[in-house]
């Protein structure tokens, strides 16, 4: 018996169901997301990285930072992300799709050789720290396995009496008279890093309210602790 039409109709419905489930439905759910007004502060979230930070996103991508760093915070109860202080909202809540609304390339990352960088802009606001860390990670985090990104800097010896540039990294006592200047790429990268935050409370990631805990039940309260010190 010729089953051709039946096979055709069956295949058609199978493909159509797959398309509805994996293309249409997700695009309905997350395709129309827009900026969200945070009522407490009156600010919009997320904010589109502008100018220098936008250039820095390209530098982050070009240098493969995402091979070692993630940008996704798992919900409480699924790993220690929240306990490490990587969640940034007012309450230990996870990353949601809206966080990536303006990311040119979503660089979620899959390996955590280094800490998650979702809220690095809130954890570390010091620009000089970031520049120094890129130039020589182990000078700030002894034993760091992060590679130094010295090619993002230029180094030259000062002439006698020459003043240090205000942009220069703090003087290394081991190399007096030498000036290390960040390139435009290094400055852009740091502008991008310091702009990374996901602190807007979104309805799809509601703030977590810590239930009052009886004194004896200390385990139930998960304190939000800062990121652990790097492995020595
Ligand atoms: C080979 C893996 C690796 C790569 C590639 C890498 N990192 Fe790291 N990174 C680490 C490790 C390990 C740490 C923790 C130790 C430290 O602070 O240096 C770290 C720490 C950091 C921190 C401090 C995080 C914190 O919570 O204090 C920042 C910021 C950072 N990296 C940015 C970058 C940027 C930007 C790039 C790309 C230019 C990059 N990393 C590439 C491994 C890496």
Domain limits of the chain?
42-214
Residue 98's SS3 state is helix
pLDDT at 222: 47
Query: Cα–Cα distances in Å, from 187 out to 38, 124, 141, 160, 222?
Result: 29, 15, 20, 27, 37
How many angstroms is it from 125 CA to the middle of ligand 1?
Answer: 15
Phi, psi of 3 (to 5 degrees): -100, 10
pTM of the model: 0.81
How many angstroms is it from 17 CA to the middle of ligand 1?
Answer: 43
Predicted confidence (pLDDT) at residue 225 exceeds the cutoff of 50: no
Neighbours of 51 (CB within 10 A): 9
Q: Which residue has the higher pLDDT, 113 or 89?
A: 113
E strand intervals along the chain: 36-38, 43-45, 153-157, 178-182
How many angstroms is it from 69 CA to the middle of ligand 1?
Answer: 7
Neighbours of 208 (CB within 10 A): 17
Predicted confidence (pLDDT) at residue 143 exceeds the cutoff of 50: yes
CATH class (in words) of the domain with range 42-214: mainly alpha
């Amino acid at each position: 018996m010729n089953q051709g039409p039946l096979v055709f109709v069956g295949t058609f419905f199978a493909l159509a169901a797959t398309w509805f489930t994996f293309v249409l439905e997700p695009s309905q759910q997350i395709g129309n997301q827009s900026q969200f007004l945070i009522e407490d502060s009156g600010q919009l979230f997320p904010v589109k990285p502008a100018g220098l930070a936008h250039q820095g996103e390209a530098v982050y991508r070009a240098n493969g930072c995402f091979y070692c760093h993630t940008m996704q915070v798992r919900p409480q109860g699924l790993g220690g992300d929240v306990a490490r202080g990587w969640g940034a909202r007012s309450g230990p809540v996870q990353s949601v799709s809206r966080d990536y609304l303006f990311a040119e390339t979503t660089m979620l990352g899959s390996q955590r050789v280094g800490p998650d960088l979702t809220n690095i802009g809130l954890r570390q606001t010091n620009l000089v720290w970031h520049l120094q860390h890129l130039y020589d990670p182990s000078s700030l985090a002894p034993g760091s396995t992060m590679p130094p990104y010295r090619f993002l800097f230029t180094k030259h010896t000062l002439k006698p009496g020459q003043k240090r540039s205000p942009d220069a990294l703090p003087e290394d006592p081991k190399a007096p008279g030498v000036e290390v200047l960040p390139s435009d790429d290094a400055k852009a990268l740091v502008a991008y890093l310091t702009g990374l935050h996901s602190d807007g409370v979104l309805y799809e990631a509601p703030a977590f309210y810590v239930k009052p805990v009886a004194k004896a039940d200390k385990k139930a309260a998960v304190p939000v602790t800062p990121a652990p010190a790097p492995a020595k």
